[in-house]
Amino acid sequence: MNLALQTIFRSAQRLFTSPLPDNETLLCSDIANQLRSVRTNAGLSHLQLAKRIGTTASTVSRFEDTEFNGHSLFILDRLADALDCRLQVRFVPKNR
């Protein structure tokens, strides 16, 4: 993996120590749960997915941690591509 990708992965792996607002906590949890579900439905282990995106199994495991909040669109797009999926980001009205 080249230096630029290593830097991006290291940035995506950082966990922030301050508590997240509730909506961010839910979003991080939803991303992690979706990623785990798609990976397991594809029949892939952490290691197999890691090899597809050029990282380690522990990094993939961290991406699936419901408290991890370092997902970038770049990483999510790479994961989606490796899982033969399309990443979709939408803005939806807040429930009032």
DSSP secondary structure string, 8-34? HHHHHHPPPSSPPPHHHHHHHHHHHHH
List the domain range (segments joined by +) for residue 52.
21-82
> Residue 51 sits in a domain of what CATH number?
1.10.260.40
CB 20 within 8 A of CB 6: no
In this structure, is residue 75 part of a structural domain?
yes
CA distance 80 to 87: 6
pLDDT in tens, 6-55: 555 555 554 444 455 577 788 899 999 999 999 999 999 999 999 999 99
In this structure, is residue 25 part of a structural domain?
yes
In this structure, is residue 31 part of a structural domain?
yes
pLDDT score at 52: 97
Q: For the chain, list the strands marked E by DSSP.
A: none
In this structure, is residue 53 part of a structural domain?
yes
Take residue 18 and report the two structure tokens written for it.
Answer: 């301050």
Q: Is the pTM above the cut of 0.75?
A: no
In this structure, is residue 10 part of a structural domain?
no
In this structure, is residue 70 part of a structural domain?
yes
The domain total for the chain is 1
Q: From the CB of residue 22, how many other CB atoms can be counted at a distance below 10 Å? A: 8
In this structure, is residue 91 part of a structural domain?
no
All residues at 6 or more sequence positions from 65 whose CB lies less than 8 Å from its CB, including other chains: 32
In this structure, is residue 74 part of a structural domain?
yes
